A and B are shown apart, each in its own frame.
Chain A
Amino acid sequence: MANFAIDEEFLQQLETLQTLIKNNVAGLFGGNHQTKSYGSSCEFSDYRDYMAGDDITKIDWNAYARFDKLYLKLYADERQMHTRIYIDASRSMAYGKGAKHVQALRIAAALAYLSINAMDKVSIYAIRDKKCEEIVTNLLGKDAFVSSIAKLNDVAFEGDSYISESILPTTVGYGDGMSVIISDFLTDNNFEDAIDYLTSKKRDILCMQILSKEELHPQVRGKMHLFDSEQASKSYRKNITKDIVKAYKLALEYVTQRISGYCASRGAEYMLIPSEQSVYKIFFERLTSMGVLK
Chain B
Amino acid sequence: MNLLYPLGLLGLIGIPILILIYILKNKYTEQVISSTYIWTLSERFLKQRTPINKLVGIISLILQILVVLFISVAVAHPVFTVPNAANEYCFVLDGSGSMNLSEGLQTRLERGKGEIASIINGSLNGCSYTLIYVGTTTETVYYRTENKEQALKLLNDIEPAYLNGEFKDALSVAQEFFNEAPWVKTYLITDKVVRSFENVEVKNVGSHVDNYGISDVEYSLTGAQIKVTGNLMSYENAATLTVGLYIDGDTRAAATTRAVVPVYQKTPFEIIADYTEFSNIRVAITNRDALALDNEVIIYSPEAEAEYKALIVSDAPYFLQSALSTKANTKTTVVSLKDYKSSVSGYDLYIFDGVTGAVMPRDGAVWFIDPKDSVAGSGFTFQGNVSFAEGQKLTYSASSASAVDLLRRNLLKNDIYVKEYTKCGLYRKFSTLLTHEGNPILFAGTNSYGSRELVVAFDLHKSNLPVTADYTTLIGNMFSYTFPNAFEKTSYVCGETVRLNVPAKCNSIRVDSPNQKVSYLGTGGDACELYLSEAGLYTVTMLAGGSERKFYIFSELPENERIPVVAEEAFSVRGEPSSAGKSGTYEDLLAWFILLAVLAAADWGVYCYEQYQLR
Residues of A within 8 A of B (CB): 91-93, 95-96, 98, 100, 184, 186-188, 212, 214-215, 220-230, 234-239, 241-244, 246-248, 250-252, 254-255
Contact = CB atoms under 8 A, between A and B. Distances in A.
A129 B42 CA distance: 25
Contacts of A221: 611-613
Interface stretch (B30-38, B320-328, B521-529): B30-38
Contacts of B342: none
Contact of A92 (B29, B31, B34, B42): B34
**5 smallest A-B Cβ distances: which pairs?**
A186-B35, A247-B45, A250-B45, A247-B42, A251-B41
Given A246-B45, A251-B45, A254-B41, 12 more contacts: A91-B34, A92-B34, A184-B35, A186-B34, A224-B29, A228-B35, A228-B36, A229-B35, A238-B39, A239-B610, A247-B47, A251-B38
A263 to B, nearest CB: 19
Contacts of A224: 28-31
B57 interface: yes
Contact of A247 (B27, B46, B611): B46
Contacts of B38: 186, 215, 248, 251-252, 255
A226 B34 contact: no
Contact of A250 (B27, B33, B34, B42): B42
11 contacts: A214-B33, A215-B34, A222-B612, A224-B28, A225-B31, A226-B33, A228-B33, A228-B35, A241-B613, A246-B45, A251-B44
Contact of B30 (A92, A98, A186, A225): A225
| Contact count band on B | 20 to 34
B40 interface: yes
A226 B33 CA distance: 6
Contacts of B47: 243, 247
A92 B41 CA distance: 16
B613 A242 contact: yes
A247 to B, nearest CB: 4
B33 A95 contact: yes
Contacts of B43: 247
Interface string B372-383: 000000000000
B615 interface: yes
A87 to B, nearest CB: 15
A212 B40 CA distance: 18
A227 B34 contact: no
Interface in B558-615: 610-613, 615
A250 B38 CA distance: 9
A227 B27 contact: no
A139 to B, nearest CB: 30
A96 B36 CA distance: 13
Contacts of B57: 239
B35 A225 contact: no
Contacts of A186: 34-35, 37-38
Interface centre among B30, B38, B47 (most CB of A within 10 A): B38
B44 A187 contact: no
A236 B36 contact: yes
A243 B50 CA distance: 14
A194 to B, nearest CB: 18
Contacts of B610: 222-223, 239, 241
Contact of B33 (A222, A227, A246, A251): A227
